[in-house]
Amino acid sequence: MSLVTGEVKKQIEKRRTFAIISHPDAGKTTLTEKFLLYGGAINQAGSVKGKATAKHAVSDWMEIEKERGISVTSSVLQFNYGGYCINILDTPGHQDFSEDTYRTLMAADSAVMVIDASKGVEAQTRKLFKVCTMRHIPIFTFINKMDREAMDTFELLDDIETELGIATCPVNWPIGSGKEFLGVYERAEKVVELFSDTRKGTIQGEVKKVSLSSPELSGLMSEEQRSRLMEETELLDGAGAEFDQELVSKGELSPVFFGSALTNFGVETFLQHFLKMTTSPLPRMSDKGMIDPMEEEAFSAFVFKIQANMNKAHRDRIAFMRICSGSFDAGMDVYHMQGGKKVRLSQPQQLMASERKMVEKAYGGDIIGVFDPGIFSIGDTLTTSAERFSYEGIPTFAPEHFARVRQVDTMKRKQFIKGINQIAQEGAIQIFQEFNTGMEEIIVGVVGVLQFDVLKYRLENEYNVEIRMDNLPYEYIRWIENPDIDVAKITGTSDMKRVKDLKGRPLLLFVNEWSIRMTQDRNNGLILAEFAK
């Protein structure tokens, strides 16, 4: 491998690719929009939960998202700011869509965790955080909604450290909260940044910065507020963790920032610090070892998301890929590792949620969408390297809820099969069939029950197929790993069901966990796995 030089290296170095994660309603989408405002990518922020006529959040493009005011799919947004080219991966906050978030985190180099100042760490934040720590990716914390009543600041930090098991280092410190929120104290500069309520859809005006030692400060904050700030920062300097870039890069220390995404206070400060503390695109593990974008000249990428019908007029499928090395040119031929042949990446595009623009050029770190004629799967690797390699696969979550699904109108069988297969290929649902029948009986498995609503909605609105769903009692699924076993002869329990997945692999569904052990005991040598290999 030779070192990457010139324009490609320069372009890769200025890339920053991160995911935004949070519990629902912590303000993640609002924060994303403010970043886009600063980058000049949009002129006015949308409102996620406005009236039916109001603008919707830029990153929420699916109709069901607009109706419910929640994000159910990940969006990819790109903008330029301060000499950097930034790729934001906005993720669903609702736990029923955690699988989509997990896949998206595989394409990010760092994560921004948004926490509601009045609630602290919530259930979904905990779950998503575990995914980040599994990948050892740097985590930056933005404590949002400081313009409302908030928990005690030390309690908030303690909550993050206890609940998530990560050390924190506040880069700035809030002065009051709610109606008393004055602004933040920048610890390194020793200046106070003062808060003024700005118009919600606009960029914040000039931020007033005053040195802590300046006599001007006494006219801007009371003596009580000042002495409390001095007391808290003294305590913080003595007991808090010091900033350590190495620990941040390893995902062991989270820099913490305070602000209000809605009123736009503290957002730009956070963005500026964040860009300095994050790195350009990182090396990725493959079956041939680490692939470093600063050493590998050849183009390489992996598919982390597939989305059908993003544009109703086109009825198309887009495969989203993270470019890991080299540069991309529109219409280039690449080798599709899993397909075992060369393919042309046609109609390459970058997206602003559902808005799209054709891309002529992209670089390591960027996220692009390409037209998928039905050949790509999540986790696929594409490369122009003569030395073929595949990136690490993306694990599939085991579904926890199951339902039997059938179309109401038997004349629409063809649309039904097409729609359910396309949605399954996106990874949102998993399809199973009765073990000894064809596609007559379709069983759908999902990680979160809300996915059933999305499936019903999308089949009706995108494929014009009405369905009936009957919930099934199964909660546990196991793939059979023995290639030579006769599935029909497995001695099971009364609550066990034999099914097969789309690839024809046999599986067992169980209502009770103890039935899994009992089935293994009754069938000598039977090997059951939680995940498909």
DSSP string, 474-533: --EEEEE--TT--GGG----TTEEEEEETT--EEEEESSHHHHHHHHHHSTT--EESS--
User: In Å, what is the CA distance from 510 to each residue of 266, 402, 441, 467, 524?
Assistant: 50, 11, 18, 25, 19
Tell me how far apart the alpha carbons of residues 68 and 49 are, in angstroms, rounded to a whole number: 8
Q: What is the pLDDT of residue 353?
A: 46
Q: What is the pLDDT of residue 348?
A: 77
Q: What is the pLDDT of residue 121?
A: 85
User: In Å, what is the CA distance from 387 to each residue of 13, 31, 303, 504?
Assistant: 24, 42, 19, 32
Q: What is the mean pLDDT of residues 299-307?
A: 89
Write 437-444 long-range contacts (CB < 8 A, 24+): 441/404, 441/406, 442/404, 442/405, 442/406, 443/402, 443/403, 443/404, 443/405, 443/472, 443/499, 443/509, 444/402, 444/403, 444/404, 444/405, 444/420, 444/469
CATH number of 284-383, picked from 3.40.50.2300, 3.20.20.70, 2.40.30.10, 2.60.40.10: 2.40.30.10
Contact present, 91 and 20 (Cβ < 8 Å): yes
Nearest to 258 by CA among 141, 159, 112, 125: 141
Q: What is the pLDDT of residue 51?
A: 34
Question: What does pLDDT average to over the chain?
Answer: 81
pLDDT above 60 for 293: yes
pLDDT above 50 for 237: yes
Percent of the chain with pLDDT over 90: 31
Q: Is 228 helix (H, G, I), strand (E, B) or coil?
A: helix
Q: What is the pLDDT of residue 97?
A: 47
Q: What is the mean pLDDT of residues 155-184?
A: 89
- What DSSP string runs through 345-379? --S-EEEETTEEEE-SEEETT-EEEEE-SS---TT
Task: Convert the pLDDT of each residue in 412-451 to its tens digit.
Answer: 989 898 888 877 877 778 888 887 765 567 999 887 777 7
Of the listed ranges 67-81, 234-248, 344-358, the least confidently predicted one is: 67-81
Q: At 188, list the tokens.
A: 């390194």
Instruction: Indicate if 284-383 has the same CATH topology as 15-99+108-277.
Output: no
Of the listed ranges 124-138, 462-476, 514-528, the least confidently predicted one is: 124-138
Task: Convert the pLDDT of each residue in 202-233 to its tens digit.
Answer: 555 556 788 877 888 777 888 888 888 888 88
Q: Global pTM? A: 0.76
CB under 8 Å to 236, separation ≥6 — which residues? 170, 173, 187
- CATH number, domain 401-529: 3.30.70.3280
Contact present, 187 and 168 (Cβ < 8 Å): no
User: In Å, what is the CA distance from 311 to each residue of 308, 354, 367?
Assistant: 8, 7, 18
CB under 8 Å to 7, separation ≥6 — which residues? none
pLDDT above 50 for 54: no
Tell me how far apart the alpha carbons of residues 19 and 304 are, in angstroms, rounded to a whole number: 13
Tell me how far apart the alpha carbons of residues 4 and 321 are, in angstroms, rounded to a whole number: 21
Of the listed ranges 19-33, 300-314, 372-386, the least confidently predicted one is: 300-314
Task: Show the CA angle centred on residue 46, arms to residues 45 and 52, nearest 5°.
Answer: 160
Task: Give the CATH superfamily of 15-99+108-277.
Answer: P-loop containing nucleotide triphosphate hydrolases (3.40.50.300)
Element (H, E) at 173: strand 172-175
* Sequence ranges of the domains in the chain: 15-99+108-277, 284-383, 401-529
